[in-house]
Amino acid sequence: MMSRFLMIACAVGVVGVQPTHAVANGYEVELETGGLWQSRNLAQSPNSDSDATPIGTRFSLRSLQGSGPNPYFRVSAAYTWNDKHRVHVLYAPLKITGTGRLDQAVSFQGTTFAAGEQTRALYRFDSYRIGYRYRVYDSSSWQIWLGATIKLRDANIALTQGPTKANRANTGPVPLLSAHLVKSISPRWSVILDAEGLAAPQGRALDAAAKLRYQFQNGAGVSAGYRMLEGGADNNKVYTFAWMHYGLLSFDYRF
């Protein structure tokens, strides 16, 4: 139903209903929530042999935790000025836990976890971001913003099997390119495409969303849509790649 609704909204926009812009000067705050599913979540640490620790076993966190859904939320704020400049910040926590049985013995962070035993798995990937965008195109129905973002990731993968525990934590900055497209399809309805991402030989990251937004008269708005988060790292220390899918509902206020 949601995909059909978005297709109808896009089709209406193509025929040229008199639109209004969905991004204007001033402040904006937004709260997003919904359900989160994971279709892939693989981990291995270490990812190569060393004198201190042998190479780890690649295993699926999804097989221990299940695919979902899991509740989530994220909070963002932005400020736009001179019709062309926009800064935004985001807090996006992500935490999934679950218990299952390993189908093989797993070596993780130099610790061995037995096959067939109840094993609790934690996957945490909290994201803190600050970014800047510049409006590169503005027509009667479209706005296109391009820019860059600095993301601080605070990640942790942990396994617990009775008294046996091990975890792999990682915190660090990640540069991203960003794009924000708004297609107005009526005075109150708009389609929003938003993406931040970058790829390199050591790994990649992509956070992208498609939303249908309705704006009320008082500056508040509500959106529904789909978000995906995909990426990971592949280096000597760790291999970790995940693919998350979000069914989202967001509320925003502009002033």
Instruction: Return the sign of the alpha-carbon dihedral for residues 134, 139, 144, 146.
Output: negative
Helix or strand run (H / E) with residue 64: helix 61-65
CATH assignment, 2-254 = 2.40.128.90
N residues, the chain = 255
Chain centroid to CA 79: how far?
Answer: 21
CA–CA separation, 242 and 229 (whole Å): 8
- Of residues 156, 40, 52, the one with CA closest to residue 111: 52
Q: CA angle at residue 84 from 89 to 255, to 5 degrees?
A: 60
Beta-carbon contacts of 190 under 8 Å, excluding residues fewer than 6 positions away, are 19, 22, 182, 183, 184, 212, 213, 215
The answer to whether 227 and 208 have CB atoms below 8 angstroms apart is: yes
The Cβ of residue 199 has, within 10 Å, a number of other Cβ atoms equal to 11
Task: Encode pLDDT of 176-208 as tens digits.
Answer: 999 999 999 998 999 999 999 999 988 999 999
Mean pLDDT, consecutive 10-residue segments, the chain of 255 residues? 44 41 84 97 90 86 96 97 96 97 95 95 97 94 96 96 95 96 93 96 94 92 97 93 98 94
Q: pTM score > 0.95 for this model?
A: no
Domain spans of the chain, in order of start? 2-254
